[in-house]
Structure formats: structure tokens, C-alpha cells
Amino acid sequence: MTLYIILFFIALCTGMALSVYTFGTGGKRKHIFQNIYFSVEDTDGVGVLYTKTGEYSAVLKIENPVQKYSADIDSYYDFTHLFSALAQTLGEGYALHKQDIFVRKQFANEPEHNQEFLSASYFRYFNGRPYTDSLCYLTITQEAKKSRLFSYDSKKWRDFLVKIYKVRDLLRDSGVQVKFLNKAEASEYVDRYFAMNFKDRTVSMTNVKADDETVSMGDKRCKVYSLVDVDCAALPSLIRPYTNIEVNNTEMPVDLVSVVDNIPNAETVVYNQIIFLPSQKRELALLDKKKNRHASIPNPSNQMAVEDIKQVQDVIARESKLLVYTHFNMVVGVPADTDLQKCTNHLENAFGRMGIHISKRAYNQLELFVSSFPGNCYSLNEEYDRFLTLSDAAVCLMYKERVQHSEETPIKIYYTDRQGVPVAIDITGKEGKNKLTDNSNFFCLGPSGSGKSFHMNSVVRQLHEQGTDVVMVDTGNSYEGLCEYFGGKYISYT
């Protein structure tokens, strides 16, 4: 009897040891955030993120090239061509990770010293008005070969530096505002993503609790929505970079994934768009092998699969397209007491109308959240979280639009944007960072009662407050009183 007890005890201990060796004690998951980065270093003004798995990354802050509500279809296709060219430039062994961040804010203007009464009243009227601001970052990551984790390859490092500058130049030549993040900016960017806080000046960390449905941190909860369920990829057979909405009985193009910037109850939304660039030769061989396997068993479903693969092979051969692995997810942050079901319903309905059915089995919430850290995209599960497609189709699912921001110009004329908050514009087109003309003259034309004088009074007031000389030519003596008030010179002809 004693022998049986001893054998049972030995077997139990052996089983426990094997379990701990195989699955761990939970400590690995407990310290998951500490096991992401090795360091952040400065390389000629570029902040390079080093992960503990051996990858290194550079982060660029960019502004999406498509103006929201511009109704310019060509600009959406230009975006797809641009990012397809970026993928071609980087080549095998790299990943593009684009993060579009949408933050719900309240308008707050910092009053200037000796600000005029009318200007102060104008900004005070908008204080507290809610609006959505957007940021965009592009992370370029070089894959580390697992067998060479602890070996330094100077050739690969030089290739990485050359290609990140090529990407920067390609974006700049295409008219995209772009800059590398330095060491301090890259560290702050990572901290803000970890705290899901892109609004406050200072960021504080707190405890994180993860389950199958959400990731909770302090006074907020986050849910990660994976766009595609790899086990049941429900995507349309044809896709384009925009969709149409109806405005005043007229169709207007908007971004295909424009639904991510107006999710109800969401305080912060991070849309992660990741493209992995594999070996084209290996992927084409695997695709051909898969086609032959389907063709060996003649039935309708296999025949359809063979035809689909042949179409893809024809496109690749004819148009030199790239095969890429992709992953798309949305990290939606809401206050802790908010029901996330409303966000879920909104996304399912909006994407469902486009023929895209988002995954309902994203139970690996913590892993998806951690894999979306800048530079950590290669930790995504290769079998479950990535799907194979053509580069053009992948880029169509990227977010392409930007909201109107105030221009960098010494002469600021304020108008309200479509969200109802003031935006500074240089209407002369002459003094801003992007100079459009050398001639700052303009005229205002409209029928009687359309608001010409009302508009011009506002413009002249703002120009005068900034020390600008204004010469006006008018019919009807609408500005005689204004000229007299400012002590100007009034010349009339009859």
C-alpha cells in the first residue's frame, strides 16, 4: 500500500512538473509587458525600438494624404499605389504597422495676453465642445531570424537604415507630412499606447486586468476587435479603397473603413493595420502546392478554390503584385461604466453592410493588445491572427483620411470645420508653411443678402488684429463705418 502511495505521489509530481514546464506558472503572462522591449536607442535622431525577440523598428509620424470629405476618388487610389510602393521598397523580412488613433476631446483654447474682446468671445463660445482628433504613426519593423537572435548582422542593420530613409523620402515626395520620432518621442508614444491615453499631457500607468472579452486598466476598459476571423474569412471577393454615402440625394466617396472614427461611446480608438512581407518565391510555391491539392479531389468547392488561386496567380504574374500576410484590429477604449455592446453592434452593422464580418472569437484579448505595441507585431500568431492576400487588397482596408487641422502660418483666419470647432486657415495662400501663391489678393462674390459683408467684417477684423494692412474695394459703402472706426483712409467714387 505504501508503495502505491509513493508511486502515485511521484506520478503527481511528475505531471505537475511537466505542466509547469509546458504551460508555465502564470508568471510569463503576469510579466508580459516587461518582456516586450529591450531598449530604445537614438540613431542619428531616429528613435529605434529593440524588442527582446530581436526585432528593431523605427516610427514615423505621418498625416494621411486624403482630406476627409474631399470627394476625390483619385486620392484614395493614389494612397493604395503609394503604400504598395512602400511594400515593394521594403521587400522580404519587413513589416509595416500603421496605427490610426482617434481621440474624443473637448475644445479648449488657451487665452492669449491682451487678446481682443471679440476674439476672446469667439473662442469662449466653443469651449467644451466635443470633437474627434486623429493621429497617425507608421512603424517599420525588420524581422529577426530566430536562429540568429544573439548575433549582430551589420549588413541587415545597414539595410534597415537605408530602407527607412527610402520610405521617408518616398512619403515626402508624395506630399505626405512625415517625420521620424526621436528616442524621447518614441518612448512617450509607447507609454501612451500602453495607457490608452493620447489626450492628457501627462500619462500614468495603472494595473491591467485581462479576460476573454476585455482588457481593463484603471477607469477605462478596452476591447480588441479583430477584423477578420482566419477560420472563417468573410470578406467580399472584390474590394476598393472607398465606399459611397448619400448626401442630399448625391453619392459621395468616403474611406472604406471610415466607421472606425465615429464609434459611439468610445473615448479612444486605435486602428492597427499590419502588413507582413514574406518571401514571394516561398509563398508562390505554397500557393501552387495548395492549388494542386484542391485539384486532386474534384468537387465543386475544391474547383472554386482552384479557380480563385489561378486568378491570384494570373494577377501576380501580369501586374507584379505582392503576396502579403495581414492583420487588422481595433482597440476601442471606453469609460469603465460604459456598455461595450453598443460599440460592438455599431461595428458589426457598419462592416456587415460592406460584406465584412468582424471576428466574434477574439478571445485572446491580452495577446492582441500586446502584439499591437509599436514594433511588436511579429509576436502575432502566424496560424490564427494573420491571413494571406494581395498587397492592393490589404491597403484598401487601411484608413486613408485626415481631419482638417490648423495650418502652420503666421496669418490665421479662423473658420469652423465640419465638427464645429475653430480651425486656423491662411486664406491668402501666401504666408503658410505650404505656399500656394505669391499673390494674396482675393474677392468675395455673392447675391444680395448672402452674407458677404458679415464674412468680410470677420476676416478684416482678424487680419487687423494680426497687424496686417488691408486694402478693400467695395460697391455699396458697406465698410465705411469699419474704416472710420479703425482710422483708415476711405476713398469713394461716384
Chain segment 428-456, per-residue pLDDT in tens: 877 777 777 888 888 888 888 888 888 88
User: What per-residue confidence (pLDDT) applies to 304?
Assistant: 83
pLDDT-derived band at 298 (thresholds 50, 70, 90) equals confident
User: What per-residue confidence (pLDDT) applies to 22?
Assistant: 45
Neighbouring residues of 280: CB distance < 8 A, sequence distance ≥ 6 = 92, 322, 323
Closest CA to 180 of 290, 172, 385, 123: 172
Residue 119 confidence (pLDDT) above 90: no
347/320 same-domain check:
yes
Task: Please provide residue 105's backbone torsions phi and psi, each rounded to the nearest 5 degrees.
Answer: -125, 170
Residue 429 domain boundaries: 413-486
Residue 101 confidence (pLDDT) above 90: yes
Residue 24 confidence (pLDDT) above 60: no
Closest CA to 280 of 333, 320, 228, 327: 320
In a domain, 25, yes or no: yes
In tens, the pLDDT along 407-421 reads: 888 888 899 998 889
Neighbouring residues of 71: CB distance < 8 A, sequence distance ≥ 6 = 252, 253
What's the whole-number average pLDDT of the chain?
Answer: 86
21/99 same-domain check:
no
pLDDT-derived band at 475 (thresholds 50, 70, 90) equals confident
Neighbouring residues of 58: CB distance < 8 A, sequence distance ≥ 6 = 46, 47, 48, 49, 139, 140, 160, 164, 180, 181
User: What per-residue confidence (pLDDT) applies to 312?
Assistant: 83
Q: Is the pTM of this model over 0.85?
A: yes
User: What per-residue confidence (pLDDT) applies to 487?
Assistant: 85
Question: Could you give the percent of the chain with pLDDT greater than 90?
Answer: 40
67/188 same-domain check:
yes
Among 16-30, 32-46, 410-424, 437-451, which is the least confidently predicted range? 16-30
367/417 same-domain check:
no
432/316 same-domain check:
no
Residue 222 confidence (pLDDT) above 80: yes
473/330 same-domain check:
no
21/124 same-domain check:
no
In a domain, 491, yes or no: no
pLDDT-derived band at 27 (thresholds 50, 70, 90) equals low
pLDDT-derived band at 146 (thresholds 50, 70, 90) equals low
User: What per-residue confidence (pLDDT) applies to 151?
Assistant: 67
In a domain, 492, yes or no: no
pLDDT-derived band at 76 (thresholds 50, 70, 90) equals very high
In a domain, 449, yes or no: yes
118/246 same-domain check:
yes
C-beta separation of 399 from 257 below 8 A: yes
In a domain, 407, yes or no: no
233/148 same-domain check:
yes
300/435 same-domain check:
no
In a domain, 386, yes or no: yes
Find the largest Cα–Cα distance for the chain: 124
Average pLDDT over residues 296-302: 82
In a domain, 493, yes or no: no
Residue bearing the bigger pLDDT, 232 or 334: 334
Residue 249 confidence (pLDDT) above 70: yes
pLDDT-derived band at 4 (thresholds 50, 70, 90) equals low
Residue 322 confidence (pLDDT) above 50: yes
Neighbouring residues of 225: CB distance < 8 A, sequence distance ≥ 6 = 329, 330, 332, 344, 347, 358, 359, 362
Average pLDDT over residues 19-40: 65
**Number of structural domains in the chain:** 3
Residue 35 confidence (pLDDT) above 90: no
User: What per-residue confidence (pLDDT) applies to 23?
Assistant: 44
Residue bearing the bigger pLDDT, 150 or 446: 446
User: What per-residue confidence (pLDDT) applies to 159?
Assistant: 93
Among 164-173, 320-329, 358-367, 475-484, which is the least confidently predicted range? 475-484
In a domain, 408, yes or no: no
Cell of 489: 483712409
Among 187-191, 262-266, 473-477, which is the least confidently predicted range? 473-477
Domain boundary among 402, 430, 459: 402
Top-confidence range, 140-144, 318-322, 384-388, 464-468: 140-144
Residue bearing the bigger pLDDT, 202 or 326: 326
434/335 same-domain check:
no
285/139 same-domain check:
yes
Residue 211 confidence (pLDDT) above 90: no
How many whole angstroms separate alpha carbon 164 and alpha carbon 156?
12
In tens, the pLDDT along 354-398 reads: 888 888 888 889 999 999 999 999 999 888 889 889 999 999 999
Residue 80 confidence (pLDDT) above 90: yes
